[in-house]
Structure 1
């Protein structure tokens, strides 16, 4: 179903959005002060507080910033106000935890520096007591060079949304010659700084670039953020002691790079700072939505993960069914390969137990990486012949290797939960011990939409996984071409029992609406990201309900 908007709309900051032939042209707000050139943001709420954020973009020394929170957009009823300091120690960012608020309320906030005012933002506290409905936008993988943040703009205009859940890869670490280089050069969205980011100054500059984007600013002003990082906020595929995209001999100690990246994250994101004495890496949350839902985010990158297994190290030995079985059992399935830290597991146990005991119908996991069992697809002879006719050059060699891995029955990737099957079963067992076998897992990272069914090692249902695609990052098989990528999606679903449907050909976001009786998942796509104008399409709508303690798709 195509969605068009025929009337002129205004963003949360007042910028006029003009329809162009049924699509939307996003225009920056010319009235915004360059003092607040990185916009405003809010997030990380509880029932009586939330964080508000901005940055003073023209300071060379410390300066004061006034802020106020009101129940109305005209600020006739101000309920909280104060003064903060923008300091070079925090890169001139200003982050305020506003407390003493009423549960389940929408508020408006703004900042002042001298005679200049910021854009007005909206924020919400979490509800208490009975709650009849909740709608989340679920987003992931916003890579600046790959395109305009049209999906962010669509989220800003979506008045159904109560909060935005961002599952990570909010920024990317690569330089202008890295991932996304050709696209960034073609559309004039190359990364700043131009080199791969490693130092604190680098990470700050990259966050500043992303926060300068007008569509990102529009989303942040319109909705409060519930955020968890993935890998690219630091670098590709990290574990506790290193990362695939970190070379100590050239880029220095891993611990120093990670510390710099996480420090910049806490400076630039509307999230609560760690309590004194707590590690920056121990970042997880339990957001409670009254009687309706719990949302628990998982930290799967920096606090507990064992090193990833790389196919390249074993490819020569994976020649037949027996060698693959031994590899998956003894190497990938080794018992000493955790994903979650003991502290993360204890937090998850407490949160699930509370949710089950209070009878909340929805137990949501905010999960960066795909959880469902996903093996390389197998193709029929006819489909393979069609694919081979369409794919040429480097893609043809990649397709050949892809087909070979499918014939061997290998998992698609080993960085997600498929690379940590013992840890995945441990999560399922922990959940079952808490009386929870109806998880609704919300997943990012893969640049694809997913609708998956989850089962433990004994074949018992553990719930449903809904995956969101990239805001701009392309699906891994998009280079094959549209029709070939579609055939891969279809083969993934046909090959894997846990996959009901997938789409890696579009960018967009997932809109999830909950009531006590059912959930509705809408997979929403933008038609393109090479220009800041777009049309929306609903690719799929799925309704989910409880049945005999399990989640079922209606």
Structure 2
């Protein structure tokens, strides 16, 4: 059962004095989160009299020559909150875009200290320890902190040598079964670096949230350069560990993304572009590249999974074993919200044309994940059940008139399994809400007992979020969207601006705000609410307010 596991830890009890002397007060200032430039080359470093002993000789943080004084160029993050703790993450990379993928680090392990405190200036440290950043893991650090109070806010930081990281803020989940009256979270996806600035992340970082769910396409694997000065590095499609590391590091140098990571715990799942466009299990995208042999593609997948783990605040339970990665899991927030994080890539049948969509043997989830999900939905559940997943769940016919055209990459291409899950929703789980990324557009859908019958019962709601940057500035609607609205009456909203989706969940109501920016090809766009929908407890389907 891939619910979040617990592992032993020995933090300082919260009623004891500070177990470590303060690392410094310099790192406590939240303004350090924005010390990076958009390219990650100019870092606000602490000057030392001599170079740090762990630095790779002959490099500096600008990819040139010289002494390194700043290892925390990729920021900090936390994730997967439990009632007594969360995961802390960082990666040492004084030269994050170094072509060899080592981030300017030597080929040896480096000791990294960490602290968790109840205050931003670390006057009251309640947990601390040390981990080794190892070269075989890209000098990344994953700390699973336990022993904290449920439903509480904390601050954390790292130190390597004499260098301090930015300060991050995180929050534990409420105690199991505890009454919870409110829960706020945002979800986002699809942040193609050359396509636009991550302005939406800057605005997200200013929200008051308990969690951020990122639903996939954290990086893009291709060679796109765009035309706004944020071209992909390396300037080719990535296949090697070194290339994937540089690509992840490039995305993570973005200061707005770092700010959003540092502000809240995240729960992450991948989609396709973290490996390769439209991959399915061991099947590579049909193209002319050299990994069409499943064995060759699985080796690429193993490299991509390794580097994905190196850059995400994930637990050891999610650490990949070769080309396999246990990504689906469940997070619970008191008696109010269960978040079922799904993997719709690793176990799916290959995509086929329309004629094969109704084959009952086709699967998007795989038997084991599907059984785990059904058990979690039909057993004792929280008041709201969130399916955090990647691809469009509701039926979506793109053709006008009698002919039909469905996506073979979304749940429409796996119709039998989608209908089975729809029937599970109808059988009585408490308030199922599907949240979705992938399509670079905001949608709101009623999940119908029979999509062919608009008058059939609504059994769940699907909330689809737009991209952070993929697709560039976007637009309100296209002519083809009017066809979709006409052919799919269960779809209540389509909009193609960029942004994220904020959700405020109470015992009686779920409120969704579509938060959008009007441009991403230049920085500093303001944020606005595009539309707001509410779902009433016990009444599937959303109403615009």
Note the 1:417-456 alignment, pairs <5 A. 417-433=411-427, 435-436=428-429, 438-456=431-449
Match of 1:112 in 2: 159
Which of these residues, 67, 88, 108, is aligned with residue 114 of structure 2? 67
- How far apart are 1:246 and its partner, in Å? 6.1
Given that residues 79 and 314 in structure 2 are in contact (C-alpha distance below 8 angstroms), is that contact kept between their aligned partners in structure 1? yes
Unpaired segments ≥5 residues, structure 2: 1-27, 35-40, 47-68, 95-104
Which of these residues, 483, 498, 519, is aligned with residue 491 of structure 1? 483
Match of 1:96 in 2: 143
- How far apart are 1:34 and its partner, in Å? 2.4
1:536 aligns with 2:527: yes
- How far apart are 1:31 and its partner, in Å? 5.7
1:369 aligns with 2:418: no
Paired with 1:73 and 1:236, the residues of 2 have a C-alpha distance of 41
Given that residues 432 and 461 in structure 2 are in contact (C-alpha distance below 8 angstroms), is that contact kept between their aligned partners in structure 1? yes
Paired with 1:251 and 1:239, the residues of 2 have a C-alpha distance of 12
Paired with 2:435 and 2:415, the residues of 1 have a C-alpha distance of 18
Paired with 2:518 and 2:43, the residues of 1 have a C-alpha distance of 24
Note the 1:259-274 alignment, pairs <5 A. 259-274=302-317
TM-score, length of structure 2 as denominator length: 0.81
Paired with 2:327 and 2:349, the residues of 1 have a C-alpha distance of 17
1:170 aligns with 2:218: yes
Paired with 1:462 and 1:90, the residues of 2 have a C-alpha distance of 44
- How far apart are 1:427 and its partner, in Å? 1.6
Match of 2:52 in 1: none
- How far apart are 1:256 and its partner, in Å? 0.3
Given that residues 437 and 461 in structure 1 are in contact (C-alpha distance below 8 angstroms), is that contact kept between their aligned partners in structure 2? no
Given that residues 263 and 280 in structure 1 are in contact (C-alpha distance below 8 angstroms), is that contact kept between their aligned partners in structure 2? no
- How far apart are 1:449 and its partner, in Å? 0.3
- Counterpart of 1:195 in 2: which secondary structure? coil
* 1:129-184 deviation line (CA, Å, top 9, x unaligned): 011111111101011010111111111112x22211111111110013xxxx4xx2
Paired with 2:242 and 2:149, the residues of 1 have a C-alpha distance of 38
- Counterpart of 1:151 in 2: which secondary structure? helix
Runs of 4+ in structure 1 displaced over 4 angstroms?
245-248, 275-279
Change (3 A) 1:29 1:255: closer
Paired with 1:216 and 1:475, the residues of 2 have a C-alpha distance of 17
1:13 aligns with 2:61: no
Given that residues 447 and 475 in structure 1 are in contact (C-alpha distance below 8 angstroms), is that contact kept between their aligned partners in structure 2? no
- How far apart are 1:335 and its partner, in Å? 1.3
Paired with 2:255 and 2:387, the residues of 1 have a C-alpha distance of 30
Which of these residues, 29, 36, 49, is aligned with residue 72 of structure 2? 36
Given that residues 69 and 110 in structure 1 are in contact (C-alpha distance below 8 angstroms), is that contact kept between their aligned partners in structure 2? yes
Paired with 1:362 and 1:34, the residues of 2 have a C-alpha distance of 43
Match of 2:502 in 1: 511
Paired with 1:187 and 1:241, the residues of 2 have a C-alpha distance of 35
- How far apart are 1:488 and its partner, in Å? 3.1
Paired with 2:518 and 2:44, the residues of 1 have a C-alpha distance of 27
Paired with 1:436 and 1:219, the residues of 2 have a C-alpha distance of 32
Match of 1:23 in 2: none
1:151 aligns with 2:172: no
Paired with 1:122 and 1:29, the residues of 2 have a C-alpha distance of 21
Paired with 1:467 and 1:263, the residues of 2 have a C-alpha distance of 28
1:353 aligns with 2:378: yes
Given that residues 266 and 273 in structure 1 are in contact (C-alpha distance below 8 angstroms), is that contact kept between their aligned partners in structure 2? no
Which of these residues, 185, 194, 203, is aligned with residue 136 of structure 1? 185
Match of 2:362 in 1: 337
Match of 2:126 in 1: 79
- How far apart are 1:241 and its partner, in Å? 2.1
- How far apart are 1:13 and its partner, in Å? 2.9
Which of these residues, 126, 130, 148, is aligned with residue 173 of structure 2? 126
Paired with 1:249 and 1:16, the residues of 2 have a C-alpha distance of 40
- Counterpart of 1:206 in 2: which secondary structure? helix
Note the 1:387-402 alignment, pairs <5 A. none
Match of 2:86 in 1: 50
Given that residues 235 and 243 in structure 1 are in contact (C-alpha distance below 8 angstroms), is that contact kept between their aligned partners in structure 2? yes
- The more displaced of 198-207 and 244-253 is 244-253
Match of 2:409 in 1: 415
* 1:69-126 deviation line (CA, Å, top 9, x unaligned): 1111011111111111111110111111111111111110000111110000011111
* Higher helix fraction (1 or 2): 1
Change (3 A) 1:430 1:38: same
1:235 aligns with 2:276: yes
- The more displaced of 57-66 and 457-466 is 457-466
Change (3 A) 1:213 1:519: same
- How far apart are 1:16 and its partner, in Å? 9.5
Given that residues 422 and 447 in structure 2 are in contact (C-alpha distance below 8 angstroms), is that contact kept between their aligned partners in structure 1? no
1:473 aligns with 2:470: yes
Change (3 A) 1:165 1:456: same
Given that residues 426 and 449 in structure 2 are in contact (C-alpha distance below 8 angstroms), is that contact kept between their aligned partners in structure 1? no
- How far apart are 1:475 and its partner, in Å? 7.8
Change (3 A) 1:423 1:247: farther
Change (3 A) 1:512 1:276: closer
- How far apart are 1:346 and its partner, in Å? 2.1
1:244 aligns with 2:285: yes
TM-score, length of structure 1 as denominator length: 0.80
- How far apart are 1:487 and its partner, in Å? 3.5
- How far apart are 1:542 and its partner, in Å? 1.0
Unpaired segments ≥5 residues, structure 1: 1-10, 18-26, 311-326, 377-404
- How far apart are 1:201 and its partner, in Å? 1.7
Paired with 1:251 and 1:205, the residues of 2 have a C-alpha distance of 24
Match of 1:321 in 2: none
